[in-house]
Amino acid sequence: GAVVSQHPSWVICKSGTSVKIECRSLDFQATTMFWYRQFPKQSLMLMATSNEGSKATYEQGVEKDKFLINHASLTLSTLTVTSAHPEDSSFYICSAPASGRTDTQYFGPGTRLTVL
Amino acid sequence: AQTVTQSQPEMSVQEAETVTLSCTYDTSESNYYLFWYKQPPSRQMILVIRQEAYKQQNATENRFSVNFQKAAKSFSLKISDSQLGDTAMYFCAFSRNAGNMLTFGGGTRLMVKP
């Protein structure tokens, strides 16, 4: 099956710093990628839709200036958490449907962010 | 907006037995997709089974099957011959199409006991 990677798999940072998380589709092109956030013992909540070549679409309540999304190519989307605070600590997961395909989408393994 | 509800936060089942996880949803769409995902301790999301709303036949994948009741907006997952490796969080999810964003239910933690 198709593979989506995320880097890093975990990161610890100090409050106030910025952290970049990469999501890559390894063997297919993805014009759209989705970013989800999962707090401990909770479900996945969609944060934003990343669109190659255009601005991301953010869900209600998600601060676009805090969670910067860039879809630089057909295989890479990045999520930058700016001025991170402890409440941003969470598990971030990306997913991508393969372009031109109608089957389901593929999930990355997730990135655990801990802000001290 | 769509909502997905899983009313069972936790369930347990003996190995080799059968267990059913419940899911209800709300939507005004006439065609859509429903999914069950498994999230083991590794936290990698794994697709278990998928159902297209316009198909009346319930989907099956080996030991996993669904009971899709479109009028009742119900989508339950039955796991037969439960195995220890089935222990995980299970999420029911809704999508307007198979490659679109997913709306997840709150999850059910399933424990398979030896």
- Residue A100 pLDDT: 64
Interface of A with B (CB under 8 A): 32, 34, 38, 42-46, 49, 91, 93, 95, 97-98, 101-105, 107, 109-110
Interface contact flag, A93 B45, Cβ < 8 Å: yes
Report the pLDDT value the prediction gives residue B2, as an integer from 0 to 100: 87
Q: Does B42 touch chain A (CB under 8 A)?
A: yes
What's the pLDDT tens digit per position in A24-50? 999 888 889 999 999 988 999 999 999
Give yes or no for residue A89 having a pLDDT over 90. yes
Q: Which of B59, B65, B60, B62 is nearest to B78 (CA)?
A: B65
With H, G, I as helix, E, B as strand and everything else as coil, classify residue B84: helix
Q: Does B102 touch chain A (CB under 8 A)?
A: yes
The amino acid present at B99, given as its one-letter code, is: G
DSSP for A44-107 reads EEEEEEEETTS--EEPTT--TTTEEEEEEETTEEEEEE-S--GGG-EEEEEEEPPTT--S--EE
